[in-house]
C-alpha cells in the first residue's frame, strides 16, 4: 500500500482530474467558485435553479475531497503510527475501517493507515467513470446519491480530526489571537475541555 503519511514511499494523493472544459460539471464548478467568493456560504451550497442535483453533488464531493487531501498534506510528517495509533475524534469517538475488500469487517487501524485507506478508496470512486461520469450524456448511476453520502460521511471524521489537531497546535503555541477564533469559541472550548480530561 502506498502511503499518505509516510508509511512506505512518501507521496501525496493526486487530486482528481479536472472535469473537461465546457461540460456541465465544469460550468457548475465555476459557478460554485464564484458564489464562494461572495462570502455567502449558504448561497454557495444551494443548487442553482434548473441544474441537475447529481452534477452539483459530484462537483462538491470532488472539491471536498481535494481540499481535505491538501489539508492532510500539511500534517503528514506529524501523524505517524506511533504518534497517532488510533483514528479518533477525541476519547469518545473511534473510527474503524471497512471497505468490503481488504477489510471485510470494521478494523482498528492507526490514523495514518486509516487515512491512507480512506483516501485511496475515495480516489478510486472519484476516478471511476461509471460512478462519477464527467462526459456529456453519460448518466449518473441510480445509487449515486448513496455513494456520495458514504464518501462525505467518511470524509467528515477526518475533517473533524484535522481541525482538532490544527486548533490544539495553534493553541499550544499561541499562534492565533483568541478573537480571531471567536466564531468557533464553543467548539474550541469543548476541544480544550476534552483534551484536559485526557491528560
Question: Which residue positions form the known binding site for Zn(2+)?
Answer: 79, 84
The C-alpha angle 80, 9, 88, rounded to 5 degrees, equals: 25
Question: Do residues 151 and 122 touch, judged by C-beta distance below 8 A?
Answer: yes
Distance CA 95, CA 114 (A): 9
117: which strand partners?
Answer: none
Per DSSP, helices labelled H in 74-127 are 111-127
Distance CA 191, CA 187 (A): 6
Q: Which residue positions form the known binding site?
A: 79, 84
The helix (run of H) or strand (run of E) holding residue 186 is: helix 185-198
Question: Do residues 25 and 59 touch, judged by C-beta distance below 8 A?
Answer: yes
Amino acid at each position: 500500500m502506498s502511503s499518505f503519511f509516510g508509511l512506505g514511499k512518501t507521496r501525496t494523493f493526486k487530486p482528481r482530474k479536472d472535469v473537461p472544459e465546457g461540460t456541465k460539471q465544469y460550468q457548475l464548478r465555476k459557478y460554485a467558485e464564484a458564489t464562494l467568493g461572495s462570502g455567502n456560504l449558504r448561497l454557495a451550497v444551494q443548487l442553482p435553479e434548473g441544474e441537475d442535483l447529481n452534477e452539483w453533488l459530484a462537483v462538491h464531493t470532488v472539491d471536498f475531497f481535494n481540499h481535505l487531501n491538501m489539508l492532510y498534506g500539511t500534517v503528514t510528517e506529524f501523524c505517524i503510527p506511533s504518534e497517532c495509533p488510533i483514528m479518533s475524534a477525541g476519547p469518545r469517538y473511534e473510527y474503524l475501517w471497512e471497505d468490503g475488500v481488504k477489510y471485510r469487517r470494521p478494523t482498528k487501524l492507526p490514523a495514518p493507515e486509516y487515512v491512507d485507506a480512506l483516501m485511496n478508496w475515495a480516489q478510486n470512486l472519484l476516478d471511476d467513470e461509471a460512478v462519477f461520469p464527467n462526459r456529456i450524456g453519460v448518466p449518473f448511476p441510480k445509487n449515486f446519491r448513496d455513494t456520495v453520502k458514504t464518501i462525505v460521511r467518511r470524509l467528515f471524521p477526518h475533517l473533524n480530526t484535522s481541525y482538532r489537531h490544527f486548533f490544539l497546535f495553534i493553541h499550544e503555541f499561541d499562534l492565533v489571537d483568541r478573537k480571531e477564533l471567536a466564531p468557533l469559541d464553543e467548539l474550541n472550548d469543548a476541544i480544550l475541555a476534552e483534551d484536559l480530561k485526557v491528560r
